[in-house]
Amino acid sequence: MTKILHRQIHQQYPVAAGGDGPYVIDREGQRYLDASGGAAVSCLGHSHARVIEAIKGQLDKLAYAHTSFFTSEPSEELAEHLTSRAPGELNHVYFVSGGSEANETALKLARQYFVEAGQPRRSNFIARRQSYHGNTLGALSVGGNPGRRAVYDPILMKNVTHIGPCYAYRGQRNDEDEAAYGRRMADELEEAILATGPETVAAFICEPVVGATLGAVPAVRGYLQRVREICDRYGVLLILDEVMCGMGRTGTLFACEQDGVVPDLLTCAKGLGAGYQPIGAVLLSRRIFDTIAGGSGAFQHGFTYIGHATACAASLAVQRTIEEDGLLANVKSQGEALQQALKARFGNNPHVGDIRGRGLFRGIELVADRGTKEPFDPTLKLNARIKKEAMARGLMCYPGGGTVDGWRGDHILLAPPYILEEAHREEIVEKLDAALSAALEQVTA
């Protein structure tokens, strides 16, 4: 019996013991095709020789040195690599150990920026319903997932307002086209800013492509641009959470590039270190950096492991591999092919409502009734059944369920590694089909 406290306390897990490209291998030798990259993490697959070499090389030199005393070569090189490729003037970076820490840091940077800029009344945040930005208290406070918030509600920040997500499959009305829907949802931000008091709002945070909570849902074209305009109109900072959708997952290094939008703060993690080391980062604009640097000169924040030399060395090797091996092109072409294959296989399934996403970030939404889009009864736990059936067939997929505005749905999130080949893609579709059929049989019998 395990002594580890897992989220699902009574669940039994196989013991992961090895890795081979897109496969994880358990202690009994069973191979699992990692079609979800864990949780959109393992973008280079497992046991990547170049990354392992970089980690070992750094350990031979120096594992870690505290940032109160030193900087390090890998952290400086990684900062240069990221900021020189980031859009706009996102030209400084703060390294942390994961996505929650990245979002905590972004919220605090936004707040301190306004204090230093002589606008101390700006202390409110706006976020979206059914969002997830991490499990630490600040990140959970901006998160809009009622299930995750419920227990902690009394100890969460009260200065957060939630607006609706941009989720065309559920939200777009019959009397409006995609552009009109995008405008309507972005305008909810303006209404929230006006209702809160524009001079008191610090930042708006959202994911450009929503991962775990909705299942690879990109905002409709034009939405983020209008959000950017609204933020600018009222002097509100825009934080884009690219913890899951960033670092190449959607086919461009930063997801927001495809929307033609540059945030003031951009958070990333997961694919940044590809699971080889825990690492996250916040990219910040020149304006925010200059204001704090020219003001108090100190960001009132910090963690023991910021800029961890070994984590940065691993991340640098991951990022150079993505670039030098031309993997973003593979993400685009394999992503398109995966979308086509999923549509061909599941497009006529009466319980598949929507198949969407960008690059190698794909979501399949499951419904009890395709015509009415009615979800399955949540007590049936369809998503957990799919995960179990998939694992039994040697496939990892990331099932999720959303609760938003009165409905609760099931979806499957696919985020396979960027090294994906045609044979892996076919294996994903075959095994997913079998797992889905088995799970649907249980809930529709």
Using CB under 6 A, list all residues that contact ligand PLP.
Answer: 39, 98-100, 103, 132-134, 207, 211-212, 241, 243-244, 269
DSSP structure class, residue 363: E
User: For residue 108, what are the β-bridge partners?
Assistant: none
Distance spanning both ends of the chain, measured CA to CA: 34
Closer residue to ligand PLP, CB minimum distance, 265 or 429: 265
Closer residue to ligand PLP, CB minimum distance, 201 or 217: 217
User: For residue 240, what are the β-bridge partners?
Assistant: 206, 266
- We find the least distance from the C-beta atom of residue 64 to ligand PLP, in angstroms, to be 19
Tell me the backbone φ, ψ of residue 91, rounded to 5 degrees.
-115, 20
Closest C-alpha to 397, from 423, 415, 378? 415
Closer residue to ligand PLP, CB minimum distance, 182 or 246: 246
- We find the least distance from the C-beta atom of residue 275 to ligand PLP, in angstroms, to be 11
User: For residue 217, what are the β-bridge partners?
Assistant: 210
Cα 426 to chain centroid distance, Å, stands at 25
Distance CA 259, CA 226 (A): 11
Judged on CB neighbours under 10 Å (0-12, 13-18, 19+), 5 is: exposed
Closer residue to ligand PLP, CB minimum distance, 245 or 262: 245
Task: Give whole-number Cα distances, 357 to 115, 214, 248, in Å.
Answer: 38, 11, 13
Distance CA 3, CA 350 (A): 42
Closer residue to ligand PLP, CB minimum distance, 99 or 144: 99
Distance CA 319, CA 254 (A): 12
3-state secondary structure of 239: strand
- We find the least distance from the C-beta atom of residue 48 to ligand PLP, in angstroms, to be 20
Distance CA 58, CA 308 (A): 11
- We find the least distance from the C-beta atom of residue 39 to ligand PLP, in angstroms, to be 5
Closer residue to ligand PLP, CB minimum distance, 247 or 436: 247
- We find the least distance from the C-beta atom of residue 340 to ligand PLP, in angstroms, to be 26
Cα 250 to chain centroid distance, Å, stands at 11
**Angle formed at CA 164 by CA 139 and CA 218, multiple of 5 degrees:** 80
DSSP structure class, residue 367: -
Give the nearest residue (CB) to ligand PLP.
99
Closer residue to ligand PLP, CB minimum distance, 190 or 241: 241
Distance CA 355, CA 345 (A): 11
Closer residue to ligand PLP, CB minimum distance, 359 or 425: 359
Closer residue to ligand PLP, CB minimum distance, 54 or 140: 140
Closer residue to ligand PLP, CB minimum distance, 245 or 386: 245
Residue located via tokens 């040195």: 65
Residues 310/114, Cβ–Cβ less than 8 Å = no
Residue 348: other Cβ atoms inside 10 A: 9
Number of H helices, E strands in the chain: 14, 17
- We find the least distance from the C-beta atom of residue 415 to ligand PLP, in angstroms, to be 10
DSSP structure class, residue 364: E
- We find the least distance from the C-beta atom of residue 37 to ligand PLP, in angstroms, to be 11
- We find the least distance from the C-beta atom of residue 215 to ligand PLP, in angstroms, to be 12
- We find the least distance from the C-beta atom of residue 444 to ligand PLP, in angstroms, to be 30
- We find the least distance from the C-beta atom of residue 290 to ligand PLP, in angstroms, to be 27
